[in-house]
Structure 1
């Protein structure tokens, strides 16, 4: 992990916390709650759970160093890219009782978190991008969980929000560095100043997180070029 950007973060504790937050929320839903629209276009709350359960196939293939096996199976299903994989995972589970999908996600994600913690942050595992540090992959997973929690309106205690937003912003900055983004990011009081080719803006920490995850409100006044360049974790 880059010490200047991700200093002080415990990837495994963060991942556990975000999984627990989702688990507690999903466990309290009943009936029509599952049919509410999420922030993911075309997906209900139930569909977001199905997505999380389905993507454990990828997580386990990484841990098993068997991405070739996963891709061979998906090819037989006519799944050619990541977007198609996500939709396929959701379709496969729409006809199942939601309790069964929730049990699947709890079981498979629990196994993922256990195995990654056992490997340790300095180990590497296979990913679509090649061998990658476990600590960094865990933070990517954590960011996705936090984003999807927001997508389905999982409540966050006010006392937890500042620290949660802070680590998410750090991961966003790291992701921008990782993709060699031309955007310059500077921390300022209450948020971040972003600059690209002479265009500059100041964002709250929460808006910066939303920008890096492609969740910034469509009505936000951020310059479109900056908006696009800040997306790093979608």
Structure 2
């Protein structure tokens, strides 16, 4: 686990990105009707409403990190019978909110996430917070949240303005490269212009930056010709 930011990330503002991606989701959610809430997403088995429920429930973990209360978080999971790690926690978050009015879940997410973003910004990128794997820099944790929010924004189809797209893609590439390095990935990455070549166990594949980002978050289309061995190694953020 890395504790210092790569140079490329020091040029970015993680808290501003977090705010931007949260606002994008909020605008999108605010405009949905019942049909929109029930549309399927890129998250297998989840509707748009389920993605919102996941985001709202996830704030329990985010606040436990900020409150230095990982023990309390895991005790809560035990009381609720949630086992098998964070995949089970995510499903529990969705199930727990399944019968609640969507407006209530939206209000929960808005208020809790706003608090998370404020408290992390106040703590500063050089600060630390407790996580499930131990103390971790606030700035780096925020970049992980940035990636998750951008990914879920794409999952549900939240619009990205043309003038935002290039800068958004650029920071997502840098966060993907950071995550691979942080995890000690065996992938060797070469960059040439807007192309990224991944080398894994004697295999090589050239990807566009957009394809690389999709691979790092596990959203590359099933029909994409990327070898499954490279695909598996590149997935590092979801």
Is the pair's TM-score, using the shorter chain for normalization, greater than 0.5?
yes
Encode CA deviations 1:126-161: one digit per residue, 9 max, x unaligned. Answer: 001110000000000010000000110111011111
Specify the alignment match of 1:23 in structure 2.
Answer: 26
Task: After TM superposition, list the pairs within 5 Å mapping 1:1-234 onto structure 2.
Answer: 1-80=4-83, 81-234=85-238
Q: Distance in 2 between matches of 1:193 and 1:151?
A: 25
TM-score by length of 1: 0.98
- Residue by residue over 1:74-100, the C-alpha shift from the partner in whole angstroms, topping out at 9 and shown as x without a partner, is 101110121110011001111011000
Q: Which runs of 5+ in 1 are unaligned?
A: none
Unaligned runs of 5+ in 2: none
Shift of 1:7: 3.5
Aligned-residue offset at 1:5: 3.5
- Deviation for aligned residue 1:193: 1.0
- The separation in 2 between residues aligned to 1:41 and 1:181, in whole angstroms, is 26
- Structure 2 distance, partners of 1:5, 1:221, is 29
* TM-score (normalizing by structure 2): 0.96
Q: Is the partner of 1:159 in helix, strand or coil?
A: helix
Counterpart CA distance in 2 for 1:197 and 1:82 is 29
- Distance in 1, matches of 2:191 and 2:123, equals 33
RMSD: 0.8
For 1:7 and 1:230, the matched residues in 2 are separated by 23
> Aligned pair count?
234
Q: Which deviations, in whole Å up to 9, do the C-alpha atoms of 1:175-195 show, x marking residues without a partner?
A: 000000010112222221111
Distance (whole Å) between structure 1 residues aligned to residue 50 and residue 70 of structure 2 = 24
